[in-house]
Chain A
């Protein structure tokens, strides 16, 4: 017999977006029933910390995104380790794999992303891993006993964080990046070169401009063969190419999907009472002025928060998010956001400054900051990102933005005054 449960707020996803939403809901509605469903069996934990888990096998408790009593304190019922089989938007129901049906009034699809796994021969065999969830990190950890060498496919953020963790475990790592440089979506050429140098200092081999043609070894991974025929032996492979929005529940419904689930300024989907956020959603990017995928943790939380307020009946507008990342891998501090390598067309102005391992670059368009890369000295990068977020015209003081002694005091009086009075 199918069990039917009713709930006011149903959240699918238990990571940054889902938590942002329930925290906002509870600010407005202290008593409305909330349920969270996640196919992961853990209480909410920080996904970025899986790198720390792999490096040092830290405890789950130290990885928790919220205190252990979070659900109890907020009166949230959880279904952890449960998978949603089907969603019916018209009927306002979802069906769990175990047969239970949940009727909801407001629904949030905070389902996150799925790792991209390229179609390569033997890619699904033992010894090949992805690196998104704690279970991924546990699986890699479980394979390290006799491992000495790893190949990381993909030189983006996930790949670099996997590489750093493996290096800390004494594994020799080779990164294979398809494009000409690592971290190519979030860094410009100069900063990529600095990051690559930091990796080499840590004895990570970096191969760029090549792809992996096949995984060698049958059943047990023995290495990879690159597109130029070169073979590299290894005992494990981490596939870290990126994520795609996890949208399967919305597929076949009336919910509008582009690359991700399309949401408006209230984080509402095209279907009434259904909201989305985070890696699953395509939300407003204030730099591009259009909806885009920006699969980063802060945007998931902030988008989830906006969704939560609206679900609870308070109108709230998503401020928009853009790609923004601070990195501290292999001892190199980097802060980056927006358009880091402007397209080859008129209208962009680049200000840059480099000395002694410090690099600062700001990209302007129509007198506003649209991109930034800070390496080494990043402490004031937030001021520049704030100007970017607020679309402040900076033409009168643009040279200051990359100066060594840049600070609030470098801004015009009215701007610093407003900030000090905040």
Chain B
């Protein structure tokens, strides 16, 4: 299963993963336009948490037993049985935020302008998710077999 892991010891908290995630999920796919010209402004689905010297990026853990899917009131949140990727159907999401209360990682994002939930889709159009591709210190790594050993090298 395709999942992004973060190496806290390598994360420098620069936030580039957020920037590229936001651009990737914009209309224009252009960083400057995504930040300055698009309305509603696209949202990053990864965020960097910082406290003192500790920092790391957090995004959907693509759980095998996803509380968000089990808790979804409308059927908008689904886990693909083949890829294991958890997706949200924008047409079905009503922004009730039950998934946000259910997610133990705080990985889901409220898209206030569209009143629906936003989450990591693992960049299905790219071989490697853009957060990983643009991390300057290789703090993010992809695991495809559900083992995080690779990421923690």
Please list the residues of chain A having a beta carbon within 8 angstroms of any beta carbon in chain B: 20, 46, 48-49, 52, 62-66, 297-298, 301-302, 305, 324-328, 333, 335, 337, 378-383, 385-387, 389-390, 405, 407-410, 413, 416-417, 419-422
Q: Give the chain A neighbours of B70 by CB distance below 8 A.
A: 20, 298, 301-302, 305
Query: Are A382's CB and B104's CB within 8 A?
Result: yes
Chain B residues with CB below 8 A from A378, complex form? 97, 100-101, 110
> With a CB–CB cut-off of 8 A, which chain B residues contact A416?
56
Inter-subunit contact B102/A379 (CB<8 Å): no
Q: Mark B84-106, 1 if CB is under 8 A from A, else 0.
A: 00000001101111111111111
Indicate if B126 sits at the interface (CB-CB under 8 A): no
| A407 and B74 contact, Cβ closer than 8 Å, known pairs A420-B56, A422-B63 | no
Chain B residues with Cβ below 8 Å from A327 are: 96-97
Complex CA gap A262/B109 in Å reads 37
Contacting residues, chain B, for A410 (C-beta < 8 A): 51
Q: Which residues of A contact B67 (CB under 8 A)?
A: 382
B71 within 8 A of A: yes
The answer on a CB contact under 8 Å between B74 and A49 is: yes
Residue of chain A at shortest CB distance from B8: A420
CB pair B110–A379 under 8 Å, yes or no, is yes
Instruction: Return 20 A-B CB contacts under 8 Å, by A number.
Output: A49-B74, A52-B94, A63-B74, A301-B70, A305-B70, A324-B98, A324-B102, A325-B101, A326-B100, A337-B101, A379-B110, A380-B106, A385-B102, A408-B56, A408-B58, A408-B106, A409-B49, A416-B56, A417-B8, A420-B5
B109 to chain A, nearest CB (A): 7
Chain B residue with minimal CB distance to A337? B101
Q: Are A385 and B74 in contact (CB under 8 A)?
A: no
Report how far A403 CA is from B104 CA in the complex, Å: 17
In the complex, what distance in Å separates the CA atom of A120 from the CA atom of B12? 66
**Is B75 interfacial (CB-CB < 8 Å)?**
yes
Contact with A along B122-150 (1 / 0, CB 8 A): 00000000000000000000000000100
Contact between A333 and B58, CB atoms less than 8 A apart? no
Partner of B101, one of A49, A305, A326: A326
The closest CB in chain A to the CB of B115 belongs to A328
- Report A174 CB to chain B, min CB distance, Å: 25
Q: Is the CB of B106 within 8 A of A382?
A: yes
Using CB atoms and an 8 Å cutoff, list the residues of chain B in contact with chain A.
5-6, 8, 49-51, 54-56, 58, 61, 63, 67, 70-71, 73-75, 91-92, 94-106, 108-110, 115, 148, 152
B74 to chain A, nearest CB (A): 4
Q: How far is the CB of A156 from chain B (nearest CB, A)?
A: 16
What is the distance, in angstroms, from A379's C-beta to the closest C-beta of chain B?
Answer: 6
In the assembled complex, how far is the CB of residue B10 from the closest CB belonging to chain A, in whole angstroms?
Answer: 12
Contact in complex: A407, B106 (CB < 8 Å): yes
* Contact (Cβ within 8 A) B71 A49: no
Are A381 and B101 in contact, with the CB atoms below 8 A? yes
Instruction: List residues of chain A with CB within 8 A of the CB of B99.
Output: 326
Q: Are A409 and B101 in contact (CB under 8 A)?
A: no
> Once the chains bind, are B101 and A62 in contact (CB under 8 Å)?
no
Decide yes or no: A379 and B100 within 8 Å by CB, A417-B8, A420-B58 being known contacts: yes
Docked Cα-Cα span, A324 to B100, in Å, equals 11
Instruction: List the A side residues contacting B74 at CB < 8 Å.
Output: 46, 48-49, 63, 65
- CB of B94 within 8 A of CB of A408, answer no
CB-CB under 8 A from B6, the residues of chain A are 420
B75 A65 Cβ-Cβ under 8 A: yes
Specify the chain A residue showing the minimal Cβ separation from B63.
Answer: A422
- Are the C-beta atoms of B104 and A389 separated by less than 8 Å? yes
Nearest CB in chain A to that of B107: its residue: A382
CB nearest neighbor in B for A335? B101
Tell whether, in the assembled complex, residue A383 and residue B105 are in contact, meaning their CB atoms are under 8 Å apart: yes
A48–B106 CA distance with the chains assembled, in angstroms: 23
Q: A382, B73: Cβ atoms under 8 Å?
A: no
Contact A66 B75 (CB under 8 A): yes
Partner of A297, one of B73, B100, B101, B108: B73
In the complex the two chains form, is B104's CB within 8 Å of A419's CB? yes
Other 12 A-B pairs with CB < 8 A, given A62-B91, A335-B97: A46-B75, A63-B74, A297-B98, A301-B70, A302-B70, A326-B97, A326-B100, A407-B106, A408-B56, A409-B49, A421-B148, A421-B152
Closest CB-CB distance, A321 to chain B, in whole Å?
Answer: 10
- Contacts A326-B98, A337-B101 given: A64-B110 contact, CB under 8 Å? no
Task: Give the 10 A-B CB pairs with smallest separation, nearest first.
Answer: A386-B104, A298-B71, A326-B97, A409-B49, A382-B103, A380-B106, A65-B75, A409-B51, A407-B49, A326-B101
